Every structure is written in C-alpha cells, then in structure tokens.
Chains A and B, each alone.
Chain A
C-alpha cells in the first residue's frame, strides 16, 4: 500500500466564526500537492459540511485527513449526542438546527447529502449519547 500524508485538526465546538478553517487549510495543502480542482473541491466541501456539523450539532471534534496517491480519506470524529436515525438525517432538508444557526444560513439539511454526493464512499457510525464518526473517501 502506498504511503500517506496525514493531517490532524481539532475542531473547536465553541467558535462558530472560525468553523471551516480546517477545510480551508486542507484545500490549500491539496492545492500545493497539485491535486485537480475537482478533487480539491469535493474533499474540501465534504469536509466543511462535516466540520460545520460537528460545531453545530456535536460541540466540536477532530478531523483526520489521510492523503494517498490514489485517494483521500477523511475521518471526522466527535463525542456529541449521536444521530438516532441516520437514514432520516441523510434525507435532503432534514435538520434539527436551531433558529439562531439557521439565521446564519446553516441548517438547510443539505450537509450530509452534500457529503455523500461529493465523496465516492461515506460511512456513518453513530451511537446516541456517545458520538459520531464519519468516514469519507474521495478517489483521485
């Protein structure tokens, strides 16, 4: 198996205004590594949605990005409330975001669907009361 380059980020659950910084950083790193604009966009948008979800719904978490020659793997892990019904959460338009978050333009219920759409593989492991881990892969 090819070697990978790994990046780790702590996602601050309190700071709503800095949310997305890890994704913007990953975008820059992937650009330096000369991945195609399409791959960079898919990785960074999927990661951003996951990052925002951890801030809005789970009080923060961690993001690990493993860059291989042929694929990019993203693991988002939080110790938040978990997702009781993953199938429901995956539906476009489903959102439990509060009004103050919606007034900022979030809470459209399109985050998880975007993550699915932009990645080649996405897996959600979630346990109510324990947290959520999302694994995503974008093939290069």
Chain B
C-alpha cells in the first residue's frame, strides 16, 4: 500500500463515479465493484483513505501500478458490499 498511514474516518459505497466524486468524503473507505483504471483518478481527486474492492473483484496490473504511483491505497475482499459496509461500520 502506498499510503499505509491513512486513517479511515467514514465510508461511502457506490459504483457510479460521479456519485463518488460528489458524495464521498476525504478519509472515507470507498467500497465498490468497479476496478477499471478510472477509479484511480477518481480516488486521487475525491481522496478516500482507500478503495475497497468487494466481491473478489480482480485488480489488473495496470491499475495496480497507477494506484501505486498516484498514492491510492487499494484493498480487496471476497465479501459483498453489504457485508463489508456492515463490518466496517461496526469498527468505526
């Protein structure tokens, strides 16, 4: 992870990029099933603490590299969006 020190302050779930840009807050964990290259630009502008890919979605090498360069943390889980949000909400 390029920015391991970042704290998670809240969360936002969604796959429509304009909604994320408009509604996610800096420091959120962004839970999504979108894994294309554009999520890196969206994350570097909306400034979530990390992207969390749900449903075991794969991350290809190009996206991984771009995220590394832009300082965007990307995590993955096999769990679905609902379950991830519930578990995160109980922790923050």
Q: Is the CB of A27 within 8 A of B44?
A: yes
* Majority-rule SS of B interface residues: helix
The smallest beta-carbon distance between B60 and chain A, in angstroms, is: 11
Residues 28-68 of chain B, each 1 if its beta carbon lies under 8 Å from chain A, else 0: 00000010111101101111000000000000001000000
> In the complex, which range does the number of interface residues on chain B fall in?
20 to 34
In the complex, number of A-B residue pairs with CB atoms less than 8 Å apart: 67
Cβ–Cβ < 8 Å partners of B15 in chain A? 105
Cβ–Cβ < 8 Å partners of B39 in chain A? 105
The smallest beta-carbon distance between B9 and chain A, in angstroms, is: 13
> In the complex, which range does the number of interface residues on chain A fall in?
20 to 34
Q: State the B residues within 8 Å of A (CB).
A: 15-19, 21-22, 26, 34, 36-39, 41-42, 44-47, 62, 70
